[in-house]
Amino acid sequence: MAVRALLFMNPKAWQRFVGEIKYVNVKQELRLYGIATLLVNELVRSAKNHGTKELFLVTEASNKPAVNFYTVRRWGKNDAELLSLDGRPLIRMYKNLVCD
Ligand SMILES: CC(C)(COP(=O)(O)OP(=O)(O)OC[C@H]1O[C@@H](n2cnc3c(N)ncnc32)[C@H](O)[C@@H]1OP(=O)(O)O)[C@@H](O)C(=O)NCCC(=O)NCCS
């Protein structure tokens, strides 16, 4: 599989306008060809079509390719202290789809 990702829409009424992107992964030898850009653009478009107002994702703070990828695409960073189960720092990134 060259690329994969999941988009979660929360069915709970009070959270239904927030979606989460998980497991975005492009096969190593196909990276830097714009594949994740196409994929994430499509996820954003689909989320908007479903009425989602905000998307977020969580990644390791040390994951420079991912943090850079979303920062360049004007996703915000939430610096709240988050740690993985094995203690590594995580970062929450989000995109407001209303103002996008
Ligand atoms: C992050 C990831 C999805 C990017 O996929 P991609 O198809 O290579 O991304 P695109 O080609 O569409 O976009 C490239 C952009 O990503 C960022 N980027 C990718 N690799 C980078 C690296 N090694 N260092 C810095 N920035 C990087 C840059 O912003 C780059 O833009 P530029 O070429 O103008 O500098 C890919 O590296 C990956 O699958 N990583 C492993 C899984 C992962 O970490 N997923 C994200 C967790 S949420």
Ligand 1 center to 25 CA (angstroms): 9
Ligand 1 neighbours, Cβ below 6 Å, are 24-26, 31-37, 57, 59, 63-66, 68-69, 72
Residue 68, pLDDT score: 97
> Whose CA is closest to 20, among 49, 62, 59?
59
Ligand 1 center to 14 CA (angstroms): 33
Ligand 1 center to 26 CA (angstroms): 8
Split at pLDDT 50, 70, 90, the class of 84 is confident
Closest atom of ligand 1 to CA, residue 63: 44
Distant-in-sequence, close-in-space partners of 87: CB < 8 Å, separation ≥ 6:
none
Distant-in-sequence, close-in-space partners of 9: CB < 8 Å, separation ≥ 6:
16, 19, 47, 50, 52
Statement: the pTM of the whole predicted model exceeds 0.85: yes
List domains and CATH numbers for the chain.
3-96 (3.40.630.30)
Q: What is the pLDDT of residues 37-79, one digit of tens each?
A: 999 999 999 999 988 999 999 999 999 999 999 999 999 998 7
Residue 8, pLDDT score: 74
